[in-house]
Amino acid sequence: MASEVVMLNVDRWYRGAVLGVAGRPQVERLLRTRGWGLAKRFVAGETLPEAIAAVRRLEADGILGILDLLGEMVADATAAQAFTERILEIFPALAEASLSGYVSIKLSQIGQDLPGPGGEPLALSNARRILQKARETSAFVCIDMEDCPRVERTLEQFRQLHAEFGEQVGLVLQSYLRRSEDDQRALLPLHPTLRIVKGAYSESPEVAYPEKWKVDAAYLRMVYRQLAAGLPVAVATHDPRILRSVLDYAQRNAVPRELLEFQMLYGVRSDLQRQLAAQGQRVRAYIPFGPDWYAYFSRRIAERPANVAFVLRGLFQS
């Protein structure tokens, strides 16, 4: 256990350090100009047709897609409107290609981050437009969870949208946050569809568990709580130990297949995605696209030292 604590402290330090370096303007400039070739491992393309082509390729392998137009923490209304318009285009494009309709959005992309009192109502009205559009093609919309200061407002907006759109909208909860299990308990009476993730941001120990084993234990409790209540859950992780535990739990408790979905990131453990799909599990890949790929790419690099090595190798070789 002591070694686990040390390891997670190193993990947390490492993630904070990499995100800090990636946020420096000179590093961002370098990676934005020379890093696209590397980012393509995790990002399907800069345009919607490229993203649609990626969904089509994955569906041929039995893996469904989740489209995510990259962009977040947008602080002006014109940009928030532009993002909303581009998200609206995704639904008819998926339907025309006869592909499964599932889109992830971030509220900070569509207005939540605007200064002053106008941000929340703008994000809510844009989210409503997105959900109305999704409804036309029976598509599903999941609201991603961002960093800790945005969690409370995201929960409030989710409650409001869920009251209007029901099971057409879902939410992400992060097991590294100390508050998340209470948030889940409070949401259960709504019967929400949840995606459980560990969490990708650099958070302080006051709000997030510093110990990896606690993050993992909370993760499993949150998945099992959802299943025990007979509610659908997306198990979004690449962690083989967690996947094994969830599969065992599902078998022991005869969990209906339709309640359980496994989700992973585009370009990460594609072998495992195919293996689960071949076993008859429902698997979805989260497929980010768009020109605004830098913040997403930084978080992927910060997840694993191997990814930093991959970037450094790529920069030296190019």
Ligand X SMILES: Cc1cc2nc3c(=O)[nH]c(=O)nc-3n(C[C@H](O)[C@H](O)[C@H](O)COP(=O)(O)OP(=O)(O)OC[C@H]3O[C@@H](n4cnc5c(N)ncnc54)[C@H](O)[C@@H]3O)c2cc1C
Rounded to whole angstroms, the Cα distance separating 207 from 213 reads 16
Closest approach, Cβ 78 to ligand X, in A, equals 25
Question: Toward ligand X, which CB reaches closer, 118 or 205?
Answer: 205
Q: Which of residues 229-248 bind ligand X (CB under 6 A)?
A: 236-240
- Using the contact rule CB under 6 A, the part of the chain among 16-24, 69-77, 148-156, 259-267 near ligand X is 259-267
Question: Toward ligand X, which CB reaches closer, 92 or 179?
Answer: 179
Question: Toward ligand X, which CB reaches closer, 220 or 268?
Answer: 268
Q: Which of residues 81-100 bind ligand X (CB under 6 A)?
A: none
Rounded to whole angstroms, the Cα distance separating 222 from 198 reads 11
Question: Toward ligand X, which CB reaches closer, 92 or 207?
Answer: 207
Binding status of residue 174 toward ligand X by CB under 6 A: yes
- Interface pattern 123-162 for ligand X (x via CB under 6 A): ---------------------xx-----------------
Q: Is 182 a catalytic residue?
A: no
The binder of ligand X chosen from 264, 277, 287, 311 (CB under 6 A): 264
Q: Among the options 195, 216, 284, 292, which is catalytic?
A: 195
Binding status of residue 303 toward ligand X by CB under 6 A: yes
Q: Is 144 a catalytic residue?
A: yes
Q: Which of residues 183-202 bind ligand X (CB under 6 A)?
A: 197-201
Closest approach, Cβ 298 to ligand X, in A, equals 12
Kindly state the number of chain residues that form the binding site for ligand X, as judged by CB under 6 A.
22
Three-state secondary structure along the chain?
Answer: CHHHHHHHHHHHHHHHHHHHHHCCHHHHHHHHHHCHHHHCCCCCCCCHHHHHHHHHHHHHCCCEEEEEECCCCCCCHHHHHHHHHHHHCHHHHHHHCCCCCEEEECHHHCCCCCCCCCHHHHHHHHHHHHHHHHHHCCCEEEECCCCHHHHHHHHHHHHHHHHHHHHHEEEEEECCECCHHHHHHHHHHHCCCEEEECCCCCCCCCCECCCHHHHHHHHHHHHHHHHHCCCCEEEECCCHHHHHHHHHHHHHCCCCHHHEEEEEECCCCHHHHHHHHHCCCCEEEEEEECCCCHHHHHHHHHHCHHHHHHHHHHHHHC
Closest approach, Cβ 236 to ligand X, in A, equals 4
The binder of ligand X chosen from 304, 308, 310, 314 (CB under 6 A): 304
Q: Is the dihedral of CA 203, 208, 209, 214 positive or negative?
A: negative
Q: Among the options 113, 144, 216, 292, which is catalytic?
A: 144
Residue owning tokens 């997840």: 303
- Interface pattern 265-284 for ligand X (x via CB under 6 A): x--xx---------------
Closest approach, Cβ 117 to ligand X, in A, equals 26
Contact 177, 207 (CB under 8 A): yes
Binding status of residue 261 toward ligand X by CB under 6 A: no
Active site (catalytic) residues = 144, 195
Binding residues for ligand X, rule: CB under 6 A, are: 144-145, 172, 174, 197-201, 236-240, 263-265, 268-269, 286, 303-304
